[in-house]
Chain A
Amino acid sequence: SQTIHQWPATLVQPVGSPLSLECTVEGTSNPNLYWYRQAAGRGLQLLFYSVGIGQISSEVPQNLSASRPQDRQFILSSKKLLLSDSGFYLCAWSAGMGSGNTIYFGEGSWLTVV
């Protein structure tokens, strides 16, 4: 069966510090991968998605970047965090894009920028 893991689960970072969140998927090949952010009291916002190694699409202009160095590895990064980057970050995967393709989430990473 397929599993998805992301880490770290919780982190507190000062403004201006770098960020690296990592996500891996097991039990499937060539998944579509996603990074979402959920700010307090708001819905899930798609940040990035990837349909293959090295292929990254950004949904919103922001202070973050994503990379996919391996088929089942997805990394979310920032060089300098802002207070507004605080939130719940979720990695997810699906077998395809769009209609009929269920999306499965990792356990999430709570980021607090202080």
Chain B
Amino acid sequence: RKEVEQDPGPFNVPEGATVAFNCTYSNSASQSFFWYRQDCRKEPKLLMSVYSSGNEDGRFTAQLNRASQYISLLIRDSKLSDSATYLCVVTGGATNKLIFGTGTLLAVQP
């Protein structure tokens, strides 16, 4: 089992739609969780951290379910500019380093 698993997509949605991504992780001892965004042929950039109680940043909402070991990202009112790959990131391993999922590709259509 991969340490961090994501549905690769692509998710093709119309502008204005709500879309949700899930990510599962295998290490129950993981302490920190993040979502990164990566545009085509660019470096990943931090989108938001994920807190135990869930957190929201504008149109983006992140949730953590420790019991089931999954993280979710909800995007409301999708914009064309939201088109990108979304990477789930979890701390893990003996040295608590960041482990990246392979990403979920989102394509927002006009």
Contact = CB atoms under 8 A, between A and B. Distances in A.
* Chain A residues touching B, range: 20 to 34
Nearest to A110: B41
**Overall SS of chain A's interface:** loop
A87 to B, nearest CB: 12
Given A43-B100, A43-B101, A43-B103, A100 B43 contact: no
A36 B100 CA distance: 10
Query: Which bucket holds chain B's interface residue count?
Result: 20 to 34
Contact of B31 (A44, A99, A106, A110): A99
B28 interface: no
A39 B58 CA distance: 32
Contact of A97 (B34, B45, B96, B102): B96
A99 B96 contact: yes
B95 A44 contact: no
A2 interface: no
Interface string B68-109: 000000000000000000010001000111101111000000
Contacts of B1: none
A72 B30 CA distance: 28
B97 A44 contact: no
A80 to B, nearest CB: 27
Interface in A71-114: 88, 90, 97-108, 110
Contacts of B95: 97-98
Nearest to B92: A98
B43 A108 contact: yes
A97 B31 contact: no
A98 B43 contact: no
7 contacts: A43-B100, A43-B103, A44-B44, A46-B97, A49-B97, A105-B44, A108-B43
Interface of B: 4, 31-32, 34, 41-46, 49, 87, 91, 95-98, 100-103
